[in-house]
Amino acid sequence: MKKIVRDFLTFNKRERNGVFVLVSIITVLVLYLNVSGGFVKNEPADFSDFDEKVKKLDALKVKATHSTSKQTSEASSTTVVSLDAERFEFDPNTLAEKDWKRLGLPDKLIQTIQRFLSKGGRFHKKEDLKKIYGMKQELYSSLEAYVSIEKEISPSESTPSPAIFKEGKVEKDRPSSKRIIDLNTADSALLTSIKGIGPFYAKNIIKHRNALGGFVSKEQLMEIWKLDEEKYAAIQQYVFVDLSKVKKINVNTCEAKDLKSPYINWNMANAIVNYRKHHGKYKTLEEIKQTDLVDEETYRKIVPYLTVE
């Protein structure tokens, strides 16, 4: 029994030395912890600067939220110009309802304009358009460059007599040069009645009109060979364009040959059709720019001739 106690409860010299060293280390640590407080001064951490920055950040967040909500409110109260809106030259005194819609005007504003015209009102200058109730400045600014108000012509000027007497003979009346002629329906004889337009120009005007699918603005006359700005200035007051006569091509059903025009070459026409075949029908005309061959200038020229309906 004594042997068992001695074997398990007594230490040899090496173990006694280890216990002594361990006790010594513990004693030193306890003494250090007890006296170290007198040498090291523990000061509380100062978080006042951090708290101040947090308050400023919270204030900025509140201000930003208020500003965003204000901008959203202002935006919602402003007439938004539709991305699908087209832009073409138009006379607000004669424009049909469907063409106002093409320009992106809301139905309520279109009804206001039509009521104004039905009661005998007339737009005498483009600035009159922004006086219409509901016409926001943003929308008017996008339309201003395309407004073209035709000068009123008296009945005696616009309607020639059916016949005239000359040297005792009755001759068919030749249209007066003061008559305003629709470029989209006029034949060669009517075009040559305008001073400054002879058979050469009349032939080329009709040829260009057929190639385009109709004129959407008088300025397109200057695209005709040899018809420069000086010639245009001399004849522009005697012509106008009836937009309802413009031929529109459905980009969702057409083939490349249908799109070919002075503004659209074969590569572009094929790209438009192929994009539709690979990606499905176009939802808006803006999507034809995804072909990468239709840049902004070309898009502006061709969009009056296209539709997705």
Q: In terms of Cα–Cα distance, which of 279, 284, 236 is closest to 85?
A: 284
Strands 163-166 and 169-172: antiparallel
Q: Identify which has the larger pLDDT, 84 or 167.
A: 84
Q: In terms of Cα–Cα distance, which of 236, 238, 215, 216 is closest to 227?
A: 236
Q: Identify which has the larger pLDDT, 240 or 49.
A: 240
Q: Quote the pLDDT of residue 1.
A: 62
In the listed set 80, 113, 146, which residue is the last one of a domain according to the structure?
146
Q: In terms of Cα–Cα distance, which of 82, 84, 89 is closest to 246?
A: 89
Query: Would you say 302 and 264 are in contact if contact means Cβ atoms under 8 Å apart?
Result: yes
Distances (CA, A) of 296 to 86, 122, 288: 13, 34, 11
- The answer as to whether 230 is a domain residue is no
- The answer as to whether 269 is a domain residue is yes
- The answer as to whether 298 is a domain residue is yes
Percent of the chain residues past pLDDT 70, beyond the cut: 76
- The answer as to whether 158 is a domain residue is no
Percent of the chain residues past pLDDT 90, beyond the cut: 34
How does pLDDT run across 136-148, given as a tens digit for each residue?
Answer: 888 888 888 888 8
The domain tally of the chain equals 2
- The answer as to whether 60 is a domain residue is no
Domain that holds residue 264: 249-307
- The answer as to whether 216 is a domain residue is no
Q: In terms of Cα–Cα distance, which of 152, 148, 135 is closest to 89?
A: 148
- The answer as to whether 106 is a domain residue is yes
- The answer as to whether 295 is a domain residue is yes
Residue-averaged pLDDT of the chain: 79
How does pLDDT run across 184-241, given as a tens digit for each residue?
Answer: 999 999 999 998 899 999 999 999 999 999 999 999 999 998 888 888 999 999 999 9
